[in-house]
């Protein structure tokens, strides 16, 4: 394998064949800006329908004037003939899938402007090379493209000061991933989140992220638990933002691991907005929210046809630890199912609030506790007995209120189910 990337532009390329394999090669060549000519006996792949293909059997004079020849015909005899006559016609050859008859290989590439990372397995396994390329692409920020343009301009103007460019290069290499880790188990993690968690250098972890998910972090990954924990310092939003910024500026892959989906009461706007303002690249990765996983665990269909016209997701706990219950107004003659997050500690207050607002206390309600964990539990009752229900289960829990809750009794559910009258 040659570790020297050669400047091959512009070199005239001849592709022989117009089948499926040839189409793959043609797509890759298109990215290289090299002029491409195609010779084939017949077109066997739709890709070539709108391309210019010379339809003719192979003959040696077709080789005149080409620098690179790619034989994608699968014709063994032709491959060998081309290899034997290389010197005569002065071309470099690639007989697809026959490494012994190749002067050069196709590599899996990822580009950010002029920056090109090329992964080759020396013809041994293009699939493996693509897998490695995909992994690199996950953390290679798009911001590298504009930075590279700037550095190129400076270089052309003769202003090269590697020392002064270093901080901006390092900053552009850093990236922050705001990752939804689902309600608890690895089983509810998305594949994209899984792949990303594996490549993190630093992880800032929320309390609701499941233990087994943390086991996926690499041993070198710096883990910082930023949630409130008994006897430990709990980080303010500003401190969390500061940590993400600091590590991203060092050029690291920073993961902000959040329970459920980051877009559901996940403070994403505060964090992503701050980082974007600081010129740091941010990627959001969705997760399974406890709102939906909890309904499923308990057998509650929040949008049950004929019973509930839709679902509202609210929180009983807003900024500055304040309890709030304006959402109770939605329950009066409501066609909807209400899903309340962060409600478990306020069970008594919610019942009181409902009473004060004249909301019927007979509306069915359920606490769905420890969703997706080894000890899931649902407690079913009504708005009038929330305090009693909360005592039957532990945090974290979601509260579901509405007629759809009653219908769940006919549905399959996971874990323990307690029904209070």
The region, left, alpha or beta by phi > 0 then psi within -120 to 50, assigned to residue 392 is alpha
How many residues lie near ligand SAH (CB under 6 A)? 22
In the complex, least distance from residue 288 CB atom to ligand SAH, rounded to whole angstroms: 8
Cβ neighbours around 139 below 10 Å, total: 19
Output 251 or 415, the one with its CB closest to ligand SAH: 415
Is 67 a known active-site residue? no
Q: Distance (Å, rounded) from C-alpha 73 to C-alpha 318?
A: 65
Residue 4 phi, psi dihedral angles, 5° rounding: -95, 110
Among 208, 244, 363, 404, binds ligand SAH (CB under 6 A): 208
- State which of positions 225-264 bind ligand SAH (CB under 6 A): 258-261, 264
Output 252 or 398, the one with its CB closest to ligand SAH: 398
When CB distances to ligand SAH are compared, the closest residue is 260
Burial label, 58 (beta-carbon count in 10 A; 0-12, 13-18, 19+): middle
Which one from 20, 152, 228, 332 is the annotated catalytic residue?
228
Cβ neighbors of 173 (< 8 A, separation 6 or more) are 141, 144, 251
In the complex, least distance from residue 169 CB atom to ligand SAH, rounded to whole angstroms: 34
Cβ neighbors of 81 (< 8 A, separation 6 or more) are none
Is 206 a known active-site residue? yes
Burial label, 180 (beta-carbon count in 10 A; 0-12, 13-18, 19+): buried
CA 152 to chain CA centroid, nearest Å: 31
In the complex, least distance from residue 45 CB atom to ligand SAH, rounded to whole angstroms: 44
Is residue 130 within 8 A of residue 108, CB to CB? The reply is: yes
Output 94 or 225, the one with its CB closest to ligand SAH: 225
DSSP 19: S
Identify whether 113 is preceded by a cis peptide bond (ω within 30 of 0).
no
- State which of positions 178-207 bind ligand SAH (CB under 6 A): 183-184
Output 260 or 381, the one with its CB closest to ligand SAH: 260
What SS3 state is found at 365? strand
Is residue 171 close enough to count as binding ligand SAH by CB under 6 A?
Answer: no
Is residue 306 within 8 A of residue 403, CB to CB? The reply is: no
Which one from 206, 261, 325, 372 is the annotated catalytic residue?
206
Among 397, 400, 404, 405, binds ligand SAH (CB under 6 A): 397
Q: Interacting stretch for ligand SAH, rule CB under 6 A, among 83-91, 134-142, 158-166, 289-297?
A: 289-297
In the complex, least distance from residue 296 CB atom to ligand SAH, rounded to whole angstroms: 12
Is residue 402 close enough to count as binding ligand SAH by CB under 6 A?
Answer: no
Among 82, 143, 341, 380, binds ligand SAH (CB under 6 A): 341
Written as six digits, the tokens of 177 are 């991933």
The residues that touch ligand SAH, with contacts defined as CB under 6 A, are 183-184, 208, 258-261, 264-266, 289-290, 294, 341-342, 369-372, 396-398
What positions carry a catalytic annotation? 206, 228
């Amino acid at each position: 394998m040659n570790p020297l990337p050669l400047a091959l532009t512009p070199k005239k390329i001849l592709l022989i064949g117009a089948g499926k394999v040839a189409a793959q090669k043609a797509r890759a060549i298109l990215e290289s800006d090299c002029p491409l000519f195609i010779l084939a006996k017949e077109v066997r792949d739709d890709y070539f329908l709108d391309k210019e293909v010379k339809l003719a059997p192979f003959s040696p004079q077709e080789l005149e004037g080409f620098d690179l020849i790619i034989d994608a015909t699968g014709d063994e005899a032709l491959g060998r003939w081309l290899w034997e006559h290389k010197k005569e016609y002065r071309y470099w050859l690639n007989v697809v899938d026959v490494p012994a008859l190749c002067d050069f290989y196709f590599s899996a590439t990822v580009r950010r402007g002029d920056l090109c990372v090329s992964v080759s397995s020396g013809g041994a396994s293009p699939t493996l090379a693509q897998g490695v390329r995909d992994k690199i692409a996950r953390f290679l920020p798009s911001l590298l493209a504009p930075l590279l343009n700037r550095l190129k301009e400076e270089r052309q103007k003769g202003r090269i000061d590697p020392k002064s460019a270093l901080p901006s290069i390092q900053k552009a290499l850093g990236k922050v991933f705001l990752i939804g880790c689902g309600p608890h188990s690895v089983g509810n993690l998305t594949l994209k989140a899984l792949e990303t968690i594996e490549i993190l250098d630093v992880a800032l972890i929320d309390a609701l992220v499941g233990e087994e998910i943390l086991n996926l972090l690499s041993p070198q990954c710096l883990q910082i638990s930023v949630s409130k924990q008994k006897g430990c310092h709990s980080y303010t939003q500003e401190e969390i933002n500061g940590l993400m910024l600091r590590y991203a500026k060092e050029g690291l892959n920073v993961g902000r691991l959040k329970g459920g989906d980051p877009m559901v009461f996940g403070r994403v706007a505060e964090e992503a907005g701050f980082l974007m303002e600081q010129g740091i690249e941010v990627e959001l990765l969705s997760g399974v929210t406890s709102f939906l996983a909890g309904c499923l665990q308990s057998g509650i269909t929040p949008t049950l046809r004929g019973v509930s016209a839709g679902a509202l997701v609210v929180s009983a706990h807003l900024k500055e630890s304040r309890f709030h219950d304006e959402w109770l107004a939605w329950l009066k003659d409501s066609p909807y199912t209400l899903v309340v997050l962060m409600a478990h500690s306020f069970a008594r207050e919610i019942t009181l609030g409902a009473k004060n607002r004249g909301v019927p206390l007979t509306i069915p309600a359920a606490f769905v506790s420890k969703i997706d964990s080894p000890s899931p539990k649902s407690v079913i009752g009504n708005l009038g007995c929330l305090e009693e229900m909360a005592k039957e289960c532990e945090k974290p829990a979601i509260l579901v209120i509405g007629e759809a809750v009653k219908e769940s009794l006919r549905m399959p559910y996971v874990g323990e189910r307690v029904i209070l009258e």
